[in-house]
Amino acid sequence: MEFMLDTADVARIRDLNELITVAGVTTNPTILTKSGRMPEDVLPEIISILSPEQKLFVQVVKTDYEGIMDEARKISAMRPENMYVKIPVSRDGLKALKQCRKEGIKTLATAIYTPAQGFLAAQNGANYLAPYTNRMCNYGDGVAEVLKLNRMIKENGLDSKVIAASFKNVGQVSELIENGIGAVTVPADVVYEMINHPATRIAVGEFCVNWNRAYMRDTLFD
């Protein structure tokens, strides 16, 4: 199971990387703009935080085939290993996914709204498939559609991995993990919601109060 962070906020990447087990970081053009920094500044900083085993995903901005391939080659060269190029599953994107496979460029097919799109991207050799869970909920049961794509990939022996993306709440993430999704990428806000349960804070507070009251100190050993 791979749990990734869907953010380009370096402070949050640093913090969460210490708190939980992070398999990688995913970005897209909008996520990079939200960092409030230039991509040429923020991306090297993210790379410096990650260990070589942790994956980084950067999306192309160009939308025509030649432009996508040009950016894909440059993104792929940003790091010696575990560098993935995100390519939307448009007509030109599908064509580029095929070419990237031939050139050995690792890819994630993104902006997937239907299992059928994901299936075609898998056939073209995408390493990862990112269905937009929450956005798909505007058209039906997003979680069920993501699980359907996952089954389609597994049942047909395709070697792409579904990484569910576009989450707005903890429930969506939990339901997919419960049903055996192989990877998720989760925005930092939602990750903090997963970590910070108010009842846990109250329970810890009670332990401290009871301990202090009984032993007049706040440590286990004197």
Would residue 55 show up in a list of annotated catalytic residues for this protein? no
Residue 167 CB, shortest distance to ligand E4P, in Å, is 7
Contact residue for ligand E4P among 69, 106, 185, 191 (CB under 6 A): 185
Counting every residue written for the chain, the total comes to: 222
Q: Is 165 in the site for ligand E4P (CB under 6 A)?
A: yes
**How far, in Å, CA of 32 to CA of 41, rounded?**
11
Identify whether the C-beta of residue 108 lies closer than 8 Å to the C-beta of residue 86. yes
Between 76 and 110, whose beta carbon lies closer to ligand E4P? 110
Between 20 and 208, whose beta carbon lies closer to ligand E4P? 20
Question: Binders of ligand E4P: how many residues, by CB under 6 A?
Answer: 11
Residue 195 CB, shortest distance to ligand E4P, in Å, is 19
The mark string for 49-78 relative to ligand E4P (x by CB under 6 A, - otherwise) is: ------------------------------
Contact residue for ligand E4P among 54, 166, 172, 176 (CB under 6 A): 166
Out of 62, 74, 86, 161, the active site residue is 86
Between 114 and 211, whose beta carbon lies closer to ligand E4P? 114
91-103 and 115-123 helices cross at what angle (nearest 10)? Answer: 30
Between 90 and 134, whose beta carbon lies closer to ligand E4P? 134
Q: Residue 151 corresponds to which amino acid?
A: R
Helix (H) or strand (E) holding 40: helix 39-49
Smallest CA-to-CA distance from 118 within 164, 78, 76 is with 164
Tokens found for residue 110: 């993104």
Residue 166 CB, shortest distance to ligand E4P, in Å, is 3
Which alpha helices (DSSP H) does 56-138 contain, by range?
Answer: 65-76, 91-103, 115-123, 133-136
Instruction: Please report, as residue ranges, which positions from 97 to 156 form the binding site for ligand E4P (by CB under 6 A).
Output: 110, 130, 132, 134-135
Instruction: Please report, as residue ranges, which positions from 24 to 43 form the binding site for ligand E4P (by CB under 6 A).
Output: 26, 28
Which residues are part of the catalytic machinery? 86
Instruction: Summarize as ranges the residues that interact with ligand E4P (CB under 6 A).
Output: 6, 26, 28, 110, 130, 132, 134-135, 165-166, 185
